[in-house]
């Protein structure tokens, strides 16, 4: 097999064929996937029947895991809602410890609803994530698409006035902001302290390509130098612009799909599905190159 990548959207996203992600990759395959990510921002691999161990091994061929990622207590799961997965694997499913769908009135279920908002993974951390790698092990009969928006193309399409306005702005990101937008406000003082906002540039450069992109996310709640209402209106306007149809790809999941995206150049969101059906998706994530606030414009 020879690895090849075919672009499947007018501005980004590559469909990858000719590679078996369950086995160790060759140097040439690793280089081709890295180059594909730099060019397309999102790569889709079909029929990759990965175990947790194989997914972790595949991930580590491209860099270091994001520190602390894969915590089994993520997303406020209670004891009976925790599933034991492989080391470094984060549970992004709707399943509890017995393999049954989480009840819609559970805290874990309600917390995860904010994933349906446009966001960039770990933008609420001082060093935001680089790649997210998601494996679809069980897919519901309808819905559950993952949508991606190209923040490079959106930045390039800004008019001159807006480009000047956003170039040097700094935003504050926190899970408090994204959860408030979904109506999830019942956070303890300890949780609010853990979710203290971090500063991120609104425009950043990719560490490899140097290409500029908008750094938007539902986790962004305030803009330095602007009143809260004015800053949030700006963020809403930019998000509405950046998620127009011409910038967006909607991935329709098939069992054993593997999808990789670069959070440094994209936003994404999950779409609704039948909550009574299993949706078993498991993620690994690579740590980012550094803090955005220190980047030159």
This prediction's pTM: 0.96
Architecture of domain 4-95+102-294: 4-Layer Sandwich (3.60)
Task: Return the domain boundaries, the chain.
Answer: 4-95+102-294
Task: Tell me the pLDDT tens digit for each residue of 80-122.
Answer: 899 988 888 999 999 999 999 999 999 999 999 999 999 999 9
DSSP string, the chain: ---EEEE-SSSS-EEEES--TTSPPPHHHHHHHHHHHHHHSEEEE-S----HHHHHHHHHTSSPBPTTTT-TTGGG--GGG-----TT-EE-SSB-TTSPBPPTTSHHHHHHGGGGS-B-TTTTSSS---EEEEEEEE--SSB--EEEEEHHHHHHTS-HHHHHHHTT-EEEE-HHHHHHHHT-----HHHHHHT--EEEESEEE-TTT--EEE---TTEEEETTS-HHHHHHHHHHHHHHHTSGGGEEEE---TT-EEEEETTTEEEEE--B-TTS--EEEEEEBPPSS-GGGS--
pLDDT tier for residue 294 given thresholds of 50, 70 and 90: confident
Task: Tell me the pLDDT tens digit for each residue of 175-197.
Answer: 999 999 999 998 889 989 989 99
């Amino acid at each position: 097999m020879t690895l090849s990548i075919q672009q499947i959207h007018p501005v980004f996203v590559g469909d990858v064929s000719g590679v078996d992600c369950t086995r160790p990759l060759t140097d040439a395959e690793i280089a081709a996937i890295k180059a594909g990510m730099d060019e397309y921002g999102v790569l889709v691999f079909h029929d990759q029947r990965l175990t947790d161990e194989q997914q972790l091994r595949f991930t580590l061929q491209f860099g270091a895991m994001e520190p602390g990622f894969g915590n089994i207590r993520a997303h406020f799961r209670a004891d009976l809602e925790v599933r034991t997965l492989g080391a470094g694997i984060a549970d992004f499913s709707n399943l509890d410890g017995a393999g049954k769908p989480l009840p819609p009135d559970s805290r874990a279920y309600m917390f995860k609803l904010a994933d349906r908002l446009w966001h960039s993974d770990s933008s609420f951390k001082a060093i935001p994530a680089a790649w997210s790698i998601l494996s679809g092990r069980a897919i519901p009969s309808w819905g559950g698409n993952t949508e991606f928006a190209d923040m490079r193309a959106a930045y390039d399409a800004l008019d001159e006035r807006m480009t000047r306005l956003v170039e040097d702005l700094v935003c504050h990101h926190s899970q408090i902001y994204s959860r408030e937008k979904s109506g999830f406000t019942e956070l303890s003082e300890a949780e609010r302290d853990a979710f203290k906002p971090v500063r991120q540039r609104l425009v950043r450069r990719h560490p490899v390509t140097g290409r500029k992109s908008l750094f938007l996310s539902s986790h962004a709640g305030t803009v330095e130098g602007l009143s809260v209402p004015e800053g949030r209106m700006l963020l809403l306007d930019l998000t509405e612009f950046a998620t127009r149809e011409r910038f967006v790809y909607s991935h329709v999941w098939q069992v054993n799909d593997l999808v990789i995206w670069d959070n440094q150049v994209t936003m994404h969101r999950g779409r609704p599905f039948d909550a009574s059906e299993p949706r078993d998706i498991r993620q690994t994530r690579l740590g980012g190159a550094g803090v955005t606030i220190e980047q030159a414009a």
